[in-house]
């Protein structure tokens, strides 16, 4: 089921076709820095992107984020709504970062969680140095409920939103 907000669409991932679309996102040093934990993050190849999506599909609803352009729908990132806990989001196309798209995406995910009867949404660990992501979730009413160190020694926050 597609989730829509005017010129923004979240569509369920199509495997394996969408792997090729996502590879450039997971080669981007900025994406890796903020999603994988700093400068030592390893770039993703096709096999690693496919393995990531296969893992996510067993634990979450996985969507490709698309914007409507004059040439049709353009994939720009991905987002997942975990069955238990987690809302990872990547705006992979740098032209669409810091334009409010992430906020619209998470609002669609919040609405979807409500449709599913969820009582709350929690994030996975968000690195404390990822201030943009922290501000995104706080702007939508999420509150920081935990500060912890992940397995790689990175300081993280966990946010929660009661629906």
b/e per residue, 27-57, with b = 16+ CB within 10 A? ebeebbbbbbbeeebeebeeeebbebbeebe
Task: Give CA–CA dist 3/114, Å, rounded.
Answer: 13
What is the residue-level pLDDT of the chain in tens, covering all 163 positions? 898 899 999 999 999 999 999 999 999 989 988 888 766 677 888 999 999 999 999 999 999 999 999 999 999 999 999 998 899 999 999 999 999 999 999 999 999 999 999 999 999 999 999 999 999 999 999 999 999 999 888 999 999 999 9
pLDDT at position 84: 84
Task: Give CA–CA dist 149/89, Å, rounded.
Answer: 20
Give the pair of three-digit tokens for residue 118. 């969820």
Residue 12 in contact with residue 62, Cβ under 8 Å? Answer: yes
pTM of the prediction? 0.94
pLDDT at position 20: 96
pLDDT at position 161: 98
pLDDT at position 40: 60
Helix (H) or strand (E) holding 9: strand 8-12
**What domains can be seen in the chain, in order of their start residue?**
3-118 (3.40.630.30)
């Amino acid at each position: 089921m597609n989730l829509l907000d005017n010129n923004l669409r979240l569509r369920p991932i199509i495997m394996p076709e969408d792997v090729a679309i996502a590879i450039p996102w997971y080669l981007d040093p900025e994406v890796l820095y903020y999603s994988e934990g700093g400068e030592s993050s390893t770039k993703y190849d096709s096999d690693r992107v496919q393995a990531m999506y296969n893992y996510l599909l067993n634990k979450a609803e996985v969507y490709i984020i698309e914007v409507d352009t004059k040439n049709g729908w353009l994939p720009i990132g991905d987002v997942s709504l975990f069955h238990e806990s987690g809302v990872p989001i990547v705006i992979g196309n740098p032209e669409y970062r810091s334009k409010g798209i992430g906020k619209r995406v998470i609002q669609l995910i919040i609405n979807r969680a409500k449709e599913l009867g969820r009582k709350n949404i929690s994030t996975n660990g968000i690195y404390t140095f990822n201030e943009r992501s922290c501000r995104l979730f706080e702007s939508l009413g999420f509150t920081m409920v935990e500060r912890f160190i992940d397995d790689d020694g990175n300081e993280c926050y966990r946010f929660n939103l009661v629906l």
